[in-house]
Structure 1
């Protein structure tokens, strides 16, 4: 069975994915960000168009279940922009949900994830889970166990929100050690927020992908170390396991407002990576690596 990337318009061969923003959001809403919802379809299309104008061909939306993903709007946005979109199932930290929401699905999480990956009208192409700040609480452990079960049933990749980049090795112990998820099916997000190159190297040695996402946000004090972190991984032989994403989560972060948004990956970061680290590494991070990270040998339970 050939590995395919599952987009909102159907499965495609990995080589068709193209230049990819490996972690972003077109729609998202959380009680932790009142008044900062991404809920404007026209603004989402404008962001996709600006990304596509610079050569962007794919965006992976990591917004999981329950955070107003507007999944049914994604196929139309993909068609209009010409950009492949990969959607996510999964679940974020408990604080991102209202009263009663988690209890309603607590005992059926794995089935929920599997259904959204295989039988939904607009299928998800990955599972998103989340750790906490330097720890994994009971909620995170429960969600990751369900994600592992859904992965084993479908082969879907598992993307992990690392809170401020922490608890990476704890996540690997749980997902890969306890629950048997193959490391190359795991993507650790927000690696740059905890710029410990030794931890990055240990995670890469295990075989996971490391996503450096949200590097354009002004409040990320570790952004100046981004290229150093990429160089350290490349020098250690792990250039093929690095991804890059904009992780736009508020309206003001979009390029059409005050922020750099999706286009910054290609207008700002790509030229720096090509100049300082080489065009081959830039191509690997933006094209070849995402094609492998999000491809799966999809199974139908």
Structure 2
């Protein structure tokens, strides 16, 4: 029987409710801390809990927290504040991307780069499997998704080794897979490896493809059956919001509405409403973006209410379920 693994235990997919497909809740990335980039330090449990409460107030029920160990994961704190806020959180096993690996690997006395180089593919897979089956960060909180990532138009040797190890962990545990793409690049290259390893792309969600709004690329990726995480909402520094809507509606026109999910990827204090920086916060997508999308979809001849129910409720139930 399929199930979804949250920080508080396994649930039936039907219990997920309205779901954000990619966010960050509480994390202190070692590399950013060393560099003094305080905007990327989500280090207040109280403020992060307040954000979860905003999400719940807006109608949200479940969040996929895409924070891996190399991005300063702390599942003990996340579990505590999630339960206090009444929000279900899915935690991440695996790794993010090589740009984070000059940071120190917790408990290993070396950098992530050094530790990954010292490990075989099988040993790395054992590490990820243990995060899913035993627990993470010195707790019994288990990961509900296995993750890998690649760089901007690059995929180095260590990232490939991690990718293959994460796929091995997926095969053993049945955990759903999530991938980071830097500015939406390398998705097809990731999928080449996924398919070469005999893994069904429908078990994978690819993040950040909306930062590369290329219709041909999106169509080719979608044809594999993979899920999309549209998670760049409000980043008008890349392009205006209507471009993302066009990308989503193009996928719907091509018959891929069952592969679309939405998240905020809030990873900066200035993006939160509760960190004192005046950001839009975790309620914004449901309160402001969702009605806008419904209106724009209607203007384009689609049933926007039906589509957002798929994006926030129906599709996550399949994307985040362990293989039965």
Tell me the residue number matched to 1:232. 250
- In the TM superposition, structure 1's runs of 4+ consecutive aligned residues that sit over 3 Å from their partners are none
Tell me the residue number matched to 1:198. 216
Paired with 2:236 and 2:219, the residues of 1 have a C-alpha distance of: 26
Residue 58 (1) aligns with residue 62 (2): yes
- Contact 1:273–1:281, Cα closer than 8 Å, also in 2: no
Shift in Å, 1:83? 0.8
Paired with 1:237 and 1:104, the residues of 2 have a C-alpha distance of: 43
Paired with 1:122 and 1:179, the residues of 2 have a C-alpha distance of: 28
- Contact 1:194–1:222, Cα closer than 8 Å, also in 2: no
Tell me the residue number matched to 1:11. 10
Q: 1:89 aligns with which of 93, 105, 124?
A: 93
Residue 113 (1) aligns with residue 128 (2): yes
Q: Which runs of no fewer than 5 residues in structure 1 stay unpaired?
A: none
Tell me the residue number matched to 2:38. 35
Aligned to 2:312, what secondary structure does the other structure show? helix
- How large is the Cα RMSD of the aligned pairs? 1.5
Paired with 2:240 and 2:214, the residues of 1 have a C-alpha distance of: 10
Q: Quickly say closer, same or farther: Cα 1:153–1:194, change in 2 above 3 A.
A: same
Shift in Å, 1:105? 4.7
TM normalised by structure 2 equals 0.88
Tell me the residue number matched to 2:300. none
Paired with 1:222 and 1:199, the residues of 2 have a C-alpha distance of: 19
Residue 48 (1) aligns with residue 52 (2): yes
Aligned to 1:296, what secondary structure does the other structure show? coil
Q: 1:168 aligns with which of 149, 171, 187?
A: 187
Paired with 2:240 and 2:168, the residues of 1 have a C-alpha distance of: 34
Aligned to 1:114, what secondary structure does the other structure show? helix
Looking at CA atoms only, which structure, 1 or 2, has the larger radius of gyration? 2
Aligned to 2:93, what secondary structure does the other structure show? strand
Shift in Å, 1:57? 0.4
- Contact 1:148–1:180, Cα closer than 8 Å, also in 2: no
Tell me the residue number matched to 1:272. 292
Shift in Å, 1:194? 0.2
Aligned to 1:115, what secondary structure does the other structure show? helix
Paired with 2:133 and 2:6, the residues of 1 have a C-alpha distance of: 12
- Contact 1:216–1:264, Cα closer than 8 Å, also in 2: no
Q: 1:260 aligns with which of 266, 269, 280?
A: 280
Q: How many residues align?
A: 296
Q: Deviations over 1:6-25 (max 9, x none)?
A: 00011101110010111000
